[in-house]
Structure 1
Amino acid sequence: MTSRARSGAPSAPEPPSSQAPGTVRPGGRTARTRAAVRDAVLTGLVEHGYPGLTVEYVAEHSGVHKTTLYRRWGGVEGLVADALDLAGEDSWTPPDTGSLQGDLRALAQEIADTFGDPAGAAAPAAFIAAAFQSDRAAEALRGFYAERFARCAPLVARAVERGEAPAGTDPGALARAVSAPLFLRLFITREPVDAAAAGQAAEAALAATRAGVYASPA
């Protein structure tokens, strides 16, 4: 969910849409505008948190007039939701190490590495915090992770083909099982997440998978 700042110029205001604010996906020339707005939203969330994020801040830091922001995104909730939507349009794929154990360990280590780096953790942590204060942000965050979990389907399919997981294993359930202990430490108990914690989470998820815990009932 991280991004690097990109410059963008404001585009001409678009006519009102019948779609809900923040659900319109601009294309063509406006892609740069959308990226600039997304970067401003991320910066604002990191610097001020969701309560301190304003349309005026996003306008100032994106170069997009606030009238356009209100017309296209509807307000702060729409801006945050679209920033999450855009963050989910990356090319991330789950690890492919040749074994389910290796894949789960690599997946857990990705989480540990991301949140162990203050710069890398700032944006995703800000989005998670926003989801506790905005229903719209929470809905967008659920969509982001649902899409992420769906990308883990090939990881599970490979494991089933190798006989490492039962047929019908739910990719989303497995991905949640790997990440849940780490997110508990990060956001609830505020404990450090290191390689040992990542490895333990992966091994626990692996054992549960082999036992058929995440397999759909026949």
Structure 2
Amino acid sequence: MEPIKRPGGRSARVRDAVRQATLAELAEKGYGGLTVENVAERSGVHKTTVYRRWGSVEGLISDALELAREEPWPIPDTGTVEGDLRGVARLVQSGFADPEEGPVSSAFVAAAMQSPDAAAALHGFFQARHEQSALVVRRAVDRGELPGTVDAHELIRAAVAPIYYRLFVTHEPVTEADADRAADAALAAARAGVL
């Protein structure tokens, strides 16, 4: 007789403990300071288990991103496309400005620049966020604020790309005004038929 597999259980608790430890280590030490040994110690999971299941730091990051991809994102609903796009851009801006969330998000980007596995996981994470955020564009099309030909994913990318450029290319601070300007420029491009 086959043993009955229980949803959750010990395996889910181990995964959650390791994920929480990974996020805490990233917040404190960044990608460069992340080690399997420290995650194992912080999580209370034996390091051989962590190595067997996740294999490496990249495996830990990939798993954390995979789980984060499934979490809902608070999509703005202001009643206008301008307000909604600004809200999406401000979510990105404020996430990186947050003292706990910001270092983790930055570490994910740093890991993706150095690891193909982490890059693939980050790509999947962004695909999920773009799909969730595309709702603001679809609502705008339904309200007649945008043409039905606009590419929702491209509009979202265009609205947040300047934030990432400032953070990771030029290493400039990003304010709410910067986020609003990025959203407004993307909206102007969409209305002009560029997107």
Partner residue in 2 for 1:18: none
Structure 2: give runs of 5+ residues left out of the alignment.
Answer: 1-5
1:209 aligns with 2:190: yes
CA contact (8 A) 1:93 1:152 kept: no
CA contact (8 A) 1:49 1:130 kept: no
Any idea what SS the aligned residue of 1:192 has?
A: coil
Partner residue in 1 for 2:79: 98
Partner residue in 2 for 1:79: 60
Instruction: After TM superposition, give the deviation of residue 112 of structure 1 in Å.
Output: 2.1
Name the stretch that deviates more: 166-175 or 125-134. Answer: 166-175
- Cα offsets for 1:140-182 (capped at 9, x unmatched): 0011001110112321211111111111322221111111111
Q: How many residues align?
A: 189
Q: Supply the distance in 2 between the matched residues of 1:105 and 1:91 (Cα, whole angstroms).
A: 19
Structure 2 CA distance for partners of 1:57 and 1:146, relative to 1, 3 Å: same
Partner residue in 2 for 1:117: 98
Structure 2 CA distance for partners of 1:50 and 1:196, relative to 1, 3 Å: closer
Tell me the amino acid that sits aligned with residue 106 of structure 1.
G
Instruction: After TM superposition, give the deviation of residue 27 of structure 1 in Å.
Output: 4.7
- Aligned residue among 143, 146, 155 for 1:165: 146
Q: Supply the distance in 2 between the matched residues of 1:136 and 1:28 (Cα, whole angstroms).
A: 25
Partner residue in 2 for 1:190: 171
1:28 aligns with 2:8: yes
Q: Supply the distance in 1 between the matched residues of 2:118 and 2:55 (Cα, whole angstroms).
A: 13
- Aligned residue among 123, 126, 130 for 2:111: 130
CA contact (8 A) 2:159 2:182 kept: yes
Structure 1: give runs of 5+ residues left out of the alignment.
Answer: 1-25
1:68 aligns with 2:49: yes
Any idea what SS the aligned residue of 2:29 has?
A: helix
Tell me the amino acid that sits aligned with residue 166 of structure 1.
P
Any idea what SS the aligned residue of 1:64 has?
A: coil
- Cα offsets for 1:101-134 (capped at 9, x unmatched): 1101111122222222322311101111111111
Name the stretch that deviates more: 43-52 or 169-178. Answer: 43-52
1:199 aligns with 2:170: no
Name the stretch that deviates more: 55-64 or 89-98. Answer: 89-98
Q: Supply the distance in 2 between the matched residues of 1:207 and 1:146 (Cα, whole angstroms).
A: 23
Instruction: After TM superposition, give the deviation of residue 212 of structure 1 in Å.
Output: 1.8
Any idea what SS the aligned residue of 2:114 has?
A: coil
**Percent same amino acid among aligned pairs?**
56
CA contact (8 A) 1:150 1:172 kept: yes
CA contact (8 A) 1:50 1:133 kept: no
CA contact (8 A) 2:58 2:117 kept: yes
